């Protein structure tokens, strides 16, 4: 027999290398009789595979561990550790892959083969072994092991991709138990661990499963107790009748920091530009009026151009400042009962000069007897200026823009209609978003920053109304603003929520959670809260005493402001003992998710409704 039949396996192609096109099997032959062992090794090699022979069960186990063969051909009747025990121990030792064990014996009867199969053997051969049968069996196992190797490679690749995703990826069962997680999830929530598997979401993430499913953004908690804003993407799927959820979690801390830097930069730049620009515009006005002496005739148009562009820059600065205040919930609107017909005529007068320079006629269709609405007059004029300038800008010289006013039993509607080219349906869906422009290139024919309609939408919504557009390409556009009638609002007082928190992100988050239940007003402190427009009913209050001075004095002021209505402390700076002592409800900010807050506010609204019915 060739000496190589007894040599250990080397680094040659085998089933442990799944990329080989036609891999040879590495086969361990265990037989205590040298002649039969050498004969079987030679047969294996003739069939195109590698063979290594060992003379005992103990040696077979050692080679299984050291050489990791693909198949074991095992004689059952060896002295010492027989084939039955070797099979049992192989199954206990090799748990990370499938290692086929084929037992051989010359004994008559099936009982010993049945016993071997019960110990974990996969197949058997009766001695003397048929070369054709051995070849068929090895071909079958080579095919199965090849599939197994390719599957293992795919699984490894999927795990590698999973663990190299920068966002946390977590799979939960229907009870909120974490079944799978990637390395990014461990780094995000439990540095030092490699997996979160087996933990409840409420413990590992600081949010229950209902809270995770309810909101696309919320605050989650790391293992050290610190909170961070997170964006969630959710997919729900079913496996064998069990609902499971896969969450992709992105840490928004850096994005929020950049947003704050951007807002602070815009506000700072706007303030710094305003002062010198005011001086420039003042000087241009004096020059144009002749205060410094008559300008040469050729210089007058240049002075007018400089003045118009300076005014345009001033409006841009105003837009940026308004945007910063609105998005930071720092703009306080002075809502007062007013007649929209008077405000509309004032708006048309203010924009008449701009329309005339563009060759556009402003027409009014305003019926008498318009009911009162509650608006901030100055901000309403700002909305109308945006709508009128937008209509004029997109109209051809000689056209007209019509402003109309009508009303229903509950709302008053203001409409601004032009006869321009209309609005592309694909753009219409996003035209009220920030910086949206139908032509975003630097060669667009119409000027503007894309902020006017966005600011208008935010102002109208802050006044309790809505804004919409109706248009078709080639048929012009009609913008409509709907505002609730003051007389209707007065007869049916609306429950509303006041949220006091110095954290802007927390105010935005709660407004998103609760806006479907009732109107929500936010304020950074009591001073801002008291500056809000007076309403017919006292508010339900949610507040965080942190950074608000003495907690007891702050809570006493909240109770006075809410009257008989509920006050909920949503804070980590106080506890339930303090809340009970003050006679208030309490939710821990770090633990209570959106569902907890919504449930608490819903209960408060129900309590207010019951009080009204008494």
In this structure, what CATH number is given to the domain that contains residue 203? 3.30.450.20
CB 428 within 8 A of CB 469: yes
What is the rounded distance in angstroms from the CA atom of residue 362 to the CA atom of residue 352? 7
Segment 63-67 mean pLDDT:
93
Q: Are residues 575 and 463 in the same domain?
A: no
End-to-end CA distance of the chain: 105
Identify whether residues 527 and 391 lie together within a single domain: no
pTM here is 0.47
User: Could you give the CA distance from residue 301 to residue 85 in angstroms, rounded to a whole number?
Assistant: 105
Statement: residue 542 has pLDDT above 90 = yes
Count of beta carbons in the 10 Å neighbourhood of residue 84: 21
Domain count, the chain: 5
Q: Are 204 and 191 in contact (CB under 8 A)?
A: no
Residues 582 and 443 in one domain: no
Using DSSP's 3-state secondary structure scheme, residue 238 falls into strand
The mean per-residue pLDDT over the stretch 191-201 comes to 86
Q: What is the CA radius of gyration of the chain?
A: 39
Asked whether 490 and 502 are in contact (CB, 8 A), the reply is no
Same domain, 118 and 154: yes
Comparing CA positions, the residue from 277, 211, 284 lying closest to residue 249 is: 211
DSSP string, 144-206: HHHHHHHHHHHHHHHHHHHHT-SSEEEEEETTSBEEEE-HHHHHHHSTT-S--TT-BHHHHTS
Q: 400 and 350, same structural domain? A: yes
Q: Is residue 285 within 8 Å of 304, Cβ to Cβ?
A: no
Task: Quote the CA–CA distance of 114 and 112 in Å, as a whole number.
Answer: 5
Task: Tell me the pLDDT tens digit for each residue of 36-54.
Answer: 999 999 999 999 999 999 9
CATH of the domain at 266: 1.10.287.130
Task: For the chain, give the percent of residues with pLDDT over 70.
Answer: 89
pLDDT digits (tens, 9 = 90+) for 437-449: 655 444 344 555 6
Do both 151 and 13 map to the same domain? yes
Tell me which of 194, 228, 251 is where a domain ends.
251
Where residue 534 sits, what CATH number does that domain have? Answer: 3.40.50.2300
Torsion sign, CA atoms 73, 77, 82, 88: positive
pLDDT single digits (tens) 200-234: 988 899 888 888 887 777 888 888 888 888 888 88
Residue 517: give the domain boundaries: 493-613
Q: Are residues 566 and 507 in the same domain?
A: yes
Q: Are residues 269 and 154 in the same domain?
A: no
Confidence of residue 22 (pLDDT cuts 50, 70, 90): very low
Both 583 and 609 in one domain: the answer is yes
- Is pLDDT at 282 greater than 70 in this prediction? yes
**Orientation angle between helical segments 504-514 and 594-613, nearest 10 degrees:** 60
For the ranges 4-8, 112-116, 331-335, 379-383, the lowest mean pLDDT is seen at 4-8
Residue 14 has pLDDT above 50, yes or no: no
Tell me which of 216, 251, 286 is where a domain ends: 251
Q: Which of 161, 187, 210 is the endpoint of a domain?
A: 161
Neighbours of 86 (CB within 10 A): 30
Q: pLDDT digit string (tens) for 458-487? A: 888 888 888 888 887 778 899 999 888 887
**Do 236 and 313 belong together in one domain?**
no
Q: Are residues 389 and 483 in the same domain?
A: yes
**Same domain membership, residue 363 and residue 270:** no
Place of tokens 């599939």: 147
For 346-355, 413-422, 487-496, which range has the lowest pLDDT when averaged over its residues? 487-496
Peptide bond before residue 128 is cis, with ω within 30 degrees of 0: yes
The tokens for 520 are: 């929500």
């Amino acid at each position: 027999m060739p000496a190589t039949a007894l040599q250990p396996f080397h680094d040659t192609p085998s089933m442990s290398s799944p990329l080989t096109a036609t891999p040879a099997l590495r086969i361990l032959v265990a037989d205590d009789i040298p002649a039969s062992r050498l004969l079987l090794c030679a047969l294996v090699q003739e069939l195109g595979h590698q063979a290594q022979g060992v003379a005992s069960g103990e040696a077979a186990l050692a080679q299984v561990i050291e050489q990791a063969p693909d198949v074991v051909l095992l004689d059952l009747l060896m002295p010492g550790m027989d084939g039955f025990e070797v099979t049992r121990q192989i199954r206990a030792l090799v748990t990370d892959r499938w290692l086929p064990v084929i037992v051989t014996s010359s004994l008559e009867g099936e009982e010993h083969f049945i016993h071997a199969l019960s110990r974990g053997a996969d197949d058997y051969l009766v001695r003397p072994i048929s070369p054709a049968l051995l070849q068929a069996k090895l071909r079958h196992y080579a095919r199965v092991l090849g599939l197994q190797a390719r599957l293992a490679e795919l699984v490894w690749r999927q795990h590698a991709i999973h663990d190299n995703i920068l966002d946390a990826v977590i799979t939960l069962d229907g009870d909120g138990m974490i079944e799978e997680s990637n390395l990014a999830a461990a780094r995000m929530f439990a540095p030092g661990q490699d997996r979160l598997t087996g933990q409840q979401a409420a413990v590992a993430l600081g949010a229950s499963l209902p809270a995770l499913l309810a909101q696309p953004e919320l605050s989650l908690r790391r293992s050290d107790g610190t909170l961070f804003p997170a964006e969630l993407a959710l997919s729900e799927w079913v496996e064998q009748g069990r609902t499971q959820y896969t969450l992709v979690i992105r840490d928004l801390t850096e994005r929020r920091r950049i947003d704050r830097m951007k807002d602070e930069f815009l506000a700072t730049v706007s303030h710094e530009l305003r002062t010198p620009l005011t001086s420039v515009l003042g000087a241009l006005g004096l020059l144009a009026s002749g205060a410094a002496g008559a300008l040469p005739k050729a210089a007058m148009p240049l002075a007018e151009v400089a003045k118009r562009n300076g005014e345009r820059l001033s409006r841009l600065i105003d837009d940026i400042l308004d945007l910063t205040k609105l998005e930071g919930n720092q703009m306080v609107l002075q809502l007062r009962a007013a007649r929209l017909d008077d405000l509309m005529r004032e708006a048309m007068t203010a924009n008449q000069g701009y329309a005339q320079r563009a060759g556009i006629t402003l027409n009014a269709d305003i019926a008498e007897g318009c009911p009162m609405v509650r608006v901030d007059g100055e901000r309403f004029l700002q909305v109308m200026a945006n709508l009128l300038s937008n209509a004029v800008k997109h109209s051809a010289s000689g056209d007209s823009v019509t402003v109309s006013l009508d009303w229903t039993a509950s709302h008053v509607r203001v409409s601004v209609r032009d006869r321009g080219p209309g609005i592309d349906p694909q753009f219409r869906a996003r035209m009220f978003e920030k910086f949206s422009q139908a032509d975003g290139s630097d060669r667009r024919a119409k000027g503007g920053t894309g902020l006017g309609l966005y600011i208008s939408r935010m102002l109208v919504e802050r006044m309790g109304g809505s804004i919409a557009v109706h248009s078709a390409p080639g048929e012009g556009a009609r913008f409509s603003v709907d505002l609730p009638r003051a007389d209707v609002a007065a007869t049916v007082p609306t429950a509303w929520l006041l949220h006091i928190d110095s954290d802007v992100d927390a105010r935005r988050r709660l407004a998103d959670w609760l806006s479907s239940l009732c109107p929500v007003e936010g304020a950074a402190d009591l001073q801002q809260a008291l500056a809000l427009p007076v309403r017919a009913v006292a508010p339900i209050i949610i507040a965080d005493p942190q950074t608000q001075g003495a907690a007891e004095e702050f809570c006493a002021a909240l109770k006075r402001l809410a009257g008989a209505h509920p006050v909920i402390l949503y804070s980590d700076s106080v506890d339930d003992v303090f809340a009970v002592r003050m006679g208030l409800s309490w939710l821990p900010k770090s633990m209570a998710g959106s569902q907890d807050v919504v449930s608490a506010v819903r209960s408060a609204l129900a309590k207010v409704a019951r009080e009204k019915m008494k």
